[in-house]
Structure 1
Amino acid sequence: MTIRETIRDATGEDAAAIAAIYNPYILDSTISFEEQAVTSEDMATRIAGVQDGGLPWLVLERDGIIAGYAYATKWRVRHAYRYSVETSVYLARGQGGRGGGTALYETLLARLRAAGCHLAIGGIAQPNPASVALHEKLGYQKVAHFSEVGFKFDRWIDVGYWELKLD
């Protein structure tokens, strides 16, 4: 049986499926530092904000079901940072290890290059060997490590930062 995969721009209609993918990362892991579940309306606002800012928010569909998403946000608000972005990718439970994260990130990075972005930055809560492996597979290099920068589930969490020059 052949699985049909498509990567496309997210729409507001995808917000519920995206929130359903993201909320377990909030509620059950330290991968996201958010602590409250996100509503579909909140997610629709986030998608629109990213896209209105000229950056991509992509979804991966497998046989018509959203299996993951990736997006980029501005790294910082100061104008001098305008060519740097932070990248993120999330897959639905059970969708890892099938190439979806790589496909999403490759498409995202190509779009960022085409848009004239210079630097992609990935912040990864530690430990997260799968995310580190994905970023390094795509050429990101570790450039920073902050110890005990986040506090969630009654414990301190480190965050590492990886960068990829896009041009």
Structure 2
Amino acid sequence: MIVRPATSADAEALAAIYGDAVLNGFGTFEEEAPSADEMDRRRRVIADQGLPYLVAEDAGRVLGFAYAGPFRPRAAYRYTLEDSVYVAPDAAGQGVGRAVLTAIIAACEALGVRQLMAVIGDSGNAASIGLHRSLGFEQTGVGRSVGFKHGRWVDIVHMQKPLNGGDGLEPDGPGVKLTGH
């Protein structure tokens, strides 16, 4: 398995993986699966900001993807990003999520990011919560019943990982230029 930057050639695979999460899971609160063109547009928005959007592939097949985007659009958040991770259903449990999230963390560190956030859909999402915890994220809160999907109320779990000294030091650079989501 290799981890590499996503390209427009990956749009169909990104749409298939994310579409499954939209239609069958609670990891995202989106309810209609976006097209490949829309997924590529979203990828470009992240990549055009100089932020990481990566895929894990094996034998030419994309097994999962992750990216780090702005946590919030206000200027004071410029040292904080939010990660998102999605894995093809038939690749779950094979280390795909760990591979792409580890690479995202390294890319965020290289950018000088101080805090990496995860906002995980569904407090019952043991795989994502466990993955983040195993890579040094700590749970910082739960938003109870903030979404309604597939006929039930769904929580979000906030997790956070300090990078580059976290808040123990003053920022030493300009931070990430925020251009929105």
Find out whether 1:57 has 2:66 as its counterpart.
no
Q: TM-score, normalised by structure 1?
A: 0.95
- C-alpha separation between the residues in 2 aligned to 1:65 and 1:154? 33
**Match among 118, 125, 129 for residue 128 of structure 1:** 125
- Counterpart in the other structure of 1:68: 64
Find out whether 1:24 has 2:20 as its counterpart.
yes
**Can you give the 5+ residue segments of structure 1 that lack an aligned partner in the other structure?**
none
Q: Which letter maps to 2:55?
A: V
**Match among 51, 74, 84 for residue 78 of structure 1:** 74
Q: TM-score, normalised by structure 2?
A: 0.88
The share of aligned pairs that are identical, in percent, is 39
Runs of 4+ in 1 over 6 A off after TM superposition: none
- Counterpart in the other structure of 1:153: 150
* Deviation of the 1:124 alpha carbon: 1.1
Q: Which letter maps to 1:43?
A: M
Find out whether 1:107 has 2:106 as its counterpart.
no
* Residue-by-residue CA offset, 1:107-133 (whole Å, 9 max, x unaligned): 110011001111100111221011111
* Deviation of the 1:97 alpha carbon: 1.2
Query: Does the residue aligned with 2:73 lie in a helix, a strand or coil?
Result: coil
Name the Cα RMSD after superposition.
Answer: 0.8
- Counterpart in the other structure of 2:167: none
* Deviation of the 1:140 alpha carbon: 0.1
* Deviation of the 1:154 alpha carbon: 2.1
Q: Which letter maps to 1:57?
A: Y
* Deviation of the 1:44 alpha carbon: 0.6
Find out whether 1:46 has 2:42 as its counterpart.
yes
Query: Does the residue aligned with 1:68 lie in a helix, a strand or coil?
Result: strand
- C-alpha separation between the residues in 2 aligned to 1:162 and 1:127? 14
**Can you give the 5+ residue segments of structure 2 that lack an aligned partner in the other structure?**
165-181
Query: For this pair of structures, how many residues does the alignment match?
Result: 163
- C-alpha separation between the residues in 2 aligned to 1:99 and 1:58? 15
Query: Does the residue aligned with 1:35 lie in a helix, a strand or coil?
Result: coil
- C-alpha separation between the residues in 2 aligned to 1:75 and 1:31? 17
* Deviation of the 1:55 alpha carbon: 0.6
- C-alpha separation between the residues in 2 aligned to 1:166 and 1:7? 21
- C-alpha separation between the residues in 2 aligned to 1:99 and 1:155? 30
Query: Does the residue aligned with 2:90 lie in a helix, a strand or coil?
Result: coil
